[in-house]
Amino acid sequence: MLDRRRWLTTVGAITGAALVPGCGTGKSGAGAAGGGSGEKPDIIYAPIYYNQMAQIARQAKAAGIKGSMFVGGDGWDAEELLKDAGEELDGAYFTDHYAPDVPWPNAKSFLAKYKERFKRDPSSLAAMGYDAAKLLFDAMGRAKGDTPDDIRQAIADTKNFAGATGNISIDKDRNADKAIVIVQVKDKKFSYFATVNDKSAGAAGASGNGSAGPAPEPAPAGTAMNTGGVPDSGQEWKVGAYLSMSGEDTAFGTDTKEGIELAVDEANAAGGPKGRKIKMIYEDDKSQPNEATNKVLQLIDRDKVVAILGEVASSRSRAGGIVCNKKKIPMISPSSTNADVTKVGPYVFRVCFTDDVQGQMGAEFIVNKLGKKKVAILYASDDLYSSGLAKEFRDRLTKLGGTVVIEKSFLKKETNFTTYLNEIVGGK
């Protein structure tokens, strides 16, 4: 698969125009009051969540901007985007973890099971929820003992776990080393276009279980052994999940929960880790970081869970991760990509790529595959995911010889993007 399905980039010392840094205040580069370089962009990079992207796409069409000018990140992946702006975004691309038509054996198996149960194609968030849960349950089965510290070590030891979203290895920083998928919006569907940062995703012969890895290390210095949530022989495991099942990011929580539910059913049908079935306890954080903190505390202190899954949004994963690390309960985020999420401490993991990798691969795709170098950036300055991804993309683009000809930031509460879009298309 060396044609459009997979492309490998070679980064050279390409020279180009200097980067125009954004000021993150709704103004464009170099702090000028709405001014740009005067050049019109070939591409608009918009690392924005699906709900605002739908509004932007509709307003962009009214401004004469074609959908094929947009490239985004994994925050686009929600069925609602196709319903609300699938036509307006036709021809656009975004970096993601998964697409329903990816050619990997494990992905095809997951797709069939998901469609049989939920009667529709899964989003990448459903696939990531599935992989996060499957990897956790696999680690629980491999762990030397049954304590949260034993499970934490087993997660850290995971290598070449064959998931629906590709092969996953947990690196020394507790991040996932894995492939990135380029998805195209086409005919009101998300279609697989290419694989980058290839890790032989779903290759034949890849193990369905993580490897035992090196000999277990002791719990981090200064930590006490946590035994909360450890089941007695024959009892079920208690595992928690905190998700946005209401509020502005409801679609994120709903899709992720469906993936987790499918993984739980599969694990319990097989008898559960070490012969003990899993009881999932779900909490709704209402799409709010402060609620994430509260719900994680409840799962640990009230429900005595042995491990936690969540969240999707990086701001909420970081809030919950701080609690998990303090309480010494392992947590796996299915799809929070901001680099700071796992930096809160040794009990926090993820099964997705990080924004530094995603942003870099997005820039390489635009420059090396699409052949475009003049880029506008449009992002939410008060959102950890959006602003972080914009930064990583910006840094990589300039190293590849590209130029940010204009940059616009806005607040998450913004609903009218007409002025930004008119300035972008005019190079002002």
What pLDDT does residue 414 have? 94
29-97+356-426 shares its CATH topology with 105-174+202-352: yes
Q: What's the length of the chain?
A: 428
Q: Angle between the 314-327 and 384-399 helix axes, to the nearest 10 degrees? A: 110
Give the CATH fold of the 29-97+356-426 domain: Rossmann fold (3.40.50)
* Strands 93-96 vs 70-72: parallel, antiparallel or unpaired: parallel
For domain 105-174+202-352, is the CATH number 3.40.50.720? no
* Domain boundaries along the sequence of the chain: 29-97+356-426, 105-174+202-352
Rounded CA gap, 59 and 70, in Å?
13
Map residue 194 onto helix, strand or coil: strand
CB burial class (10 A; 0-12, 13-18, 19+) of residue 131? buried
- What is the per-residue pLDDT for 9? 30
DSSP 213-278: -SPPPPSPTTPPPP-TTPPPTTPPEEEEEEE--SSTTHHHHHHHHHHHHHHHHHHHHTT-GGG--E
pTM for this predicted structure: 0.77
CA dist list (Å): 389 to 17, 263, 291, 362, 383:
21, 29, 24, 10, 10
The pLDDT value given to residue 391? 93
pLDDT given for residue 342 in this prediction:
97
pLDDT in tens, the chain (428 residues): 322 222 333 222 222 222 222 333 333 333 332 345 678 999 999 999 999 999 999 999 999 999 999 999 998 988 899 999 999 999 999 999 999 999 888 899 999 999 999 999 999 999 999 999 999 999 999 999 999 999 999 999 999 999 999 999 999 999 999 989 999 999 999 999 998 876 544 443 333 344 333 333 444 443 444 545 555 556 899 999 999 999 989 999 999 999 999 999 999 999 999 999 999 999 999 999 999 999 999 999 999 999 999 999 989 999 999 999 999 999 999 999 888 999 999 999 999 999 889 999 999 999 999 999 999 999 999 988 899 899 999 999 999 999 999 999 999 999 999 999 999 988 66
Q: Which two tokens stand for residue 38?
A: 């005067």
Residues contacting 426, CB < 8 A, separation 6+ = 40
- Which pLDDT belongs to residue 355? 85
CB burial of 338-363 (b: ≥16 within 10 Å; e: otherwise) equals bbbbbebbbbbbbbbbbbbbbbbbbb
